[in-house]
Structure 1
């Protein structure tokens, strides 16, 4: 595909994460979102108007069948990712699926096999792999400039009722393990190129209405001996998102969003660009160059196996 030809995209979902992808695509250019397939009619129409998308629909299958669409970004509710990704692969489209690719290991294995059988780009939005602070830490670790001893990750939201990051009501229930812990488990394995982590953890009480554990702690140990401690809560008031403390032989470094600081608060030099822009640019570049992207379905499958081990140990999902 010529670099001058925009990649025509269908985006599934009209919620908060869909807007973040649209902002990233506007920032990097090279793509045209031709349709949004949403879940709530009024919200989908408003989303299309806000972002100047010419067409909108509530029929994902019909939108997917259009011949003027090259690629699909799945920014839909987590329970829909596996089904929609499978349909997009079958329709011959390139796919960028929001994290998680699925909510269980069996669907992840099936999707990875389907992706392996196509020549299309199939990628998962494991955004931490594209976040500048973590990219810089991976570089330092690989170069022997930083020897990681302990990664401490804190993931916080206040979600005692079904609302998204902007406080709008949700029709589906989020998951601390398969969604939010997925980011940090994958990050640790990716940083150290080690998918054979030792894992353990525990989950707190289930919410009486939402039916999900609202707090978790997870431990990881790499073959090198490096440790990771993950603390996650849907009960926390304060700044939302992931906070990362890298404790190493040479320094202690703090990563939050696209910034990296040392223990005294001094900003560190990191690659330019927001994590979502870098991630979505990788998706478009892999399509144009006909290559496997970073965070392909196959590359993310080992993380799903680790989550399955944690799920069985913690009793998050009935088996």
Structure 2
């Protein structure tokens, strides 16, 4: 078991990196000793904001020179696979933001590399750690709640290539491999069933961004429980992922770390998803064990996404 503080290299200087920094602040025996970013000015600003001592703009150099135990990849989705493998090859533990990759082949290679290296390699499948979904999984397992239909709505307005703060983005987000990944994984994880029947369709491809802006996805478990996923980059209004648990006993709504009944009354749940997720990563390192949402745990979800991609064309 590791007894010294876990030294972290934060890779990325954007909004998600900041959320991880906030989460890590509540976890004992963790020290973010360095940050590696793509833009020097923004990376230095990030380091100043969070009191990080060392700043790098070259990821490979940061891996070799920063003296860290682990990396958190809060970088653009297209970089995740290569950066995760670089970290594993450098002997570092890895927490990779969702999605672990943008195709199944990369995910399989990453998983094999992590297994060979015997390193802690985890994906930030935050829905598995959000308090409402953990509570619903508990209720389903104990028989308190019989799920009939999970309805997931994922909404953003991304007709231009902007990030969550409305700033220009140097890469393009993806409804299937990023946003649908959250909900497909959640449904399979809730029911402990990754052998799902899947179907779906997409809207037209955006002429400039080159991606589908709207999708609908259907899932059915072996016991015939249904999930319906609606996703749009064309939505005006609040953004994020909204979940409706339709069950025999009740209908409950989950959003981030809140759970409400069908009348809008808040139900008591405890925990914050990002803190629980990042704490699991640190605990797995310290205890030398496989974490929840390890690469190997998330690979079945990537296989389902590939099926959906082929179906949608």
Q: How does the TM-score come out when normalised to structure 1?
A: 0.96
Aligned to 1:217: 216
Aligned equivalent of 2:261: 262
Alignment partner, residue 27 of structure 2: 28
Offset at residue 34 of structure 1 (A) = 1.0
TM-superposed deviation, 1:295: 0.2
Aligned to 2:293: 295
1:108-163 CA-partner distances (Å, limit 9, x unpaired): 00111111112221000000000000000000000011110000000011111111
Report SS of the residue matched to 1:28.
Answer: coil
**Corresponding residue number in structure 2 for 1:226:** 225
> Could you tell me which residue of structure 2 aligns to residue 153 of structure 1?
152
Which consecutive residues of structure 1, in runs of 5 or more, have no partner in the other structure? none
> How many Å apart are 1:283 and its aligned residue?
0.2
Aligned to 1:98: 97
User: Counterpart in 2 of 1:44?
Assistant: 43
Alignment correspondent of 1:13: 12
Q: Distance in 1 between matches of 2:211 and 2:94?
A: 29
User: CA–CA distance in 1 between the matches of 2:248 and 2:34?
Assistant: 50
The within-5 A match list for 1:172-251 is 172-251=171-250
Match of 2:282 in 1: 284
Partner of 2:251: 252
The alignment partner of 1:146 has SS state of: coil
Q: Displacement of 1:45 after TM fit?
A: 1.1
> 2:2·2:285 contact (CA, 8 Å) conserved in 1?
no
Residue 27 of structure 1: CA displacement? Answer: 2.2
**DSSP 3-state at the match of 2:122:** strand
Query: For the aligned residues, what is the CA RMSD?
Result: 1.0
Query: Are 2:131 and 1:165 aligned?
Result: no
Unaligned runs of 5+ in 2: none
Q: Is the 8 A contact 2:33 2:66 kept in 1?
A: no
What is the number of equivalent residue pairs in this alignment? 313
Q: 2:138 maps to which residue?
A: 139
For residues 199 and 145 of structure 1, the distance between their equivalents in structure 2, rounded to whole angstroms, comes to 27
Question: Displacement, 1:288?
Answer: 0.6
1:204-253 CA-to-partner distances (Å, cap 9, x unmatched) read: 11112111100000000000110000000111111111000000001000
C-alpha separation between the residues in 1 aligned to 2:157 and 2:185?
Answer: 23
Structure 2 counterpart of 1:309 = 307
1:68 deviation in Å?
Answer: 1.7
Cα drift, residue 67 of structure 1: 5.9
Cα distance, 1:2 vs structure 2: 4.4
Question: Greater CA deviation, 190-199 or 259-268?
Answer: 259-268
Identify the range of structure 1 (75-84 vs 62-71) with the bigger mean alpha-carbon deviation. 62-71
CA distance in 2, matches of 1:236, 1:213: 13
- The SS at the match of 2:8 is strand
Query: TM-score if structure 2 supplies the norm length?
Result: 0.98
8 Å Cα contact 2:162/2:169 also seen in 1? yes
**Runs of 4+ with deviation above 3 angstroms:** none
Equivalent position of 1:119 in the other structure: 118
SS at match of 1:61: helix
Partners of 2:2 and 2:304 lie apart in 1 by 39
